[in-house]
Amino acid sequence: MIDLLKVKDKNFVIMGVANERSLAWGVAKSLHQAGANLIFTYRKERSYTKLTKLLEKTDVEAQQVLACDVNDDESIKKAFSKIGEEAGIIHGVVHSIAFAHSEDLKNNFVNTTREGYAFAQDTSSYSLIAVAREAQPFMTEGGSIIAMSYLGAERVVEGYNVMGVAKAALESSVKYLAMDLGSSNIRVNAISAGAIKTLAAKGVPSFNEILHKIEETAPLKRNVTQEEVGDMSLAMLSNLSRGVTGEIVYVDSGYNILG
Ligand code: 1JT
C-alpha cells in the first residue's frame, strides 16, 4: 500500500493519558496502528500506573514515558530536552490536557474565582503555548501539533463554565501558534470532540442528558467514539492534512452545525 500518512517510524509525544478512556489513549491507538513511535508524558502517579498497565495489556509500545507537569515551565523544559536527547527529532505533539476545580464546574459561572479562572487557563490553555515553545527546537523536519477542545468554547453548554473560557483561549492560541510556527512547517490544529464519557466527564451531573440529546438530534444520530477522535487526530498529525493549519476540526457527529 502507498504510505499516505507518513507517520511510520516518526516520533510523536502524547500528553494526557489518564486511563483507557482518555482521548489521548485513542490517539495513541490510532498512531500505533499506523506504525508511529510513541512517547508519553504524565503528571499524576496514578496516570503513570494506569498507562503502564495499558502498555502491558495491549500491543501499544512506548519509546519513552516521562513525567511532565504542564503548570511548571521547568518541568516542560526538562521533559522535552529528555525527549529530544533520546528521540532526536519530534514530528508531532498531542496536547490532551485540561483541568479546572470541580466547584467551578458546579457553581454558577458568575461565581468563578480569580484563582479558579487562572488555574483553568494555566493548565488547559497556556500549557499549549509552553509545550509548543519547548517542542519547536526538536521539530526540525516540520510537523504537527494538535490540542483537544469542546463545543463549550464557543457556545454556552450548561456547567462547562470556566472550562469553556479556557477552551476559547486554547482555540485562539491554536490560531496564533499556527501563524508563528507555520514558517517552520509546523502546523497547529485543534480537534473539537463531541461528548465522550472520559474521566473528565465523570461527576458532570448533566452528562448523560447531553449524550442522549446528541443521539436524538445530531446529524449522525449517535455519539462519537474515542477511536473516531483518534483517527481524525491521526489524520491531522499525518501528511494527509499537510495543507491544514490553525483549524478547529469537529469530530462530533455533526452536532455543532445545529441552530
Ligand atoms: C475538563 C473536565 C475538561 C471535563 C471536560 C473537559 N473537556 C470536556 N469535558 C467533558 C464535559 C464536562 C462538562 C460539561 C460537558 C462536557 C472536567 C475536569 C476539568 C477539565 O458540561 C456540560 C462539565
pLDDT in tens, 164-195: 999 999 999 999 999 999 999 999 999 999 99
Nearest CA residue ID for atom 5, ligand 1: 200
pLDDT at 46 over 90: yes
Tell me, using a 6 A CB cutoff, whether residue 38 lines ligand 1. no
Tell me, using a 6 A CB cutoff, whether residue 157 lines ligand 1. yes
CA–CA separation, 184 vs 105, rounded Å? 38
CA–CA separation, 234 vs 37, rounded Å? 13
Q: What is the mean pLDDT of the chain?
A: 97
CA–CA separation, 146 vs 45, rounded Å? 24
241 contact partners, CB below 8 Å, separation of at least 6:
144, 187, 189, 235
Number of H helices, E strands in the chain: 9, 7
pLDDT at 63 over 90: yes
Give phi and psi for 156, each to the nearest 5: -80, 110
Q: Model confidence at 76, in pLDDT bands (50, 70, 90)?
A: very high
> Are residues 237 and 178 in contact, defined by beta-carbon separation less than 8 angstroms?
no
133 contact partners, CB below 8 Å, separation of at least 6:
none
Q: What is the pLDDT of residue 94?
A: 99
Pocket-testing residue among 105, 123, 158, 211, ligand 1, by greatest number of atoms within 8 A of Cβ: 105
Across the range 142-146, mean pLDDT stands at: 99
- DSSP character at residue 232: H
Q: What is the pLDDT of residue 204?
A: 81
Handedness of CA 171, 119, 232, 210 (dihedral sign): negative
| 3-state class percentages of the chain: helix first, strand second, coil last, to nearest 5 | 50, 15, 35
Identify which of 86, 71, 156 has the alpha carbon closest to the alpha carbon of residue 120: 71
pTM of the model: 0.98
Q: What is the pLDDT of residue 67?
A: 98
Q: What is the pLDDT of residue 203?
A: 75
* Ligand 1 atom nearest to 148, measured from its CA: 7
Q: Is 248 left (phi over 0), alpha (psi -120 to 50) or beta?
A: beta
pLDDT at 200 over 90: no
> Are residues 167 and 200 in contact, defined by beta-carbon separation less than 8 angstroms?
no
**Active centre residues (catalytic):** 150, 160
Q: How many A from CA of 201 to the centre of ligand 1?
A: 5
> Are residues 150 and 204 in contact, defined by beta-carbon separation less than 8 angstroms?
no
Nine-digit cell at 201? 466527564
Q: How many A from CA of 18 to the centre of ligand 1?
A: 14
Across the range 53-77, mean pLDDT stands at: 98
**At which residue does the C-alpha cell 488555574 appear?**
119
Across the range 188-217, mean pLDDT stands at: 92
Tell me, using a 6 A CB cutoff, whether residue 25 lines ligand 1. no
Tell me, using a 6 A CB cutoff, whether residue 119 lines ligand 1. no
**DSSP E strand boundaries for the chain:** 11-15, 37-42, 64-67, 92-95, 143-149, 186-193, 248-251
Q: How many A from CA of 59 to the centre of ligand 1?
A: 29
* Ligand 1 atom nearest to 124, measured from its CA: 20
Across the range 217-226, mean pLDDT stands at: 98
Q: How deeply is 33 buried, as exposed, middle or buried, from its count of CB atoms within 10 A (0-12, 13-18, 19+)?
A: middle
Q: How many A from CA of 183 to the centre of ligand 1?
A: 34
184 contact partners, CB below 8 Å, separation of at least 6:
136, 139, 142
Q: What is the pLDDT of residue 1?
A: 79
**At which residue does the C-alpha cell 503502564 appear?**
52
Q: How many A from CA of 71 to the centre of ligand 1?
A: 19
Tell me, using a 6 A CB cutoff, whether residue 99 lines ligand 1. yes
Q: What is the pLDDT of residue 14?
A: 99
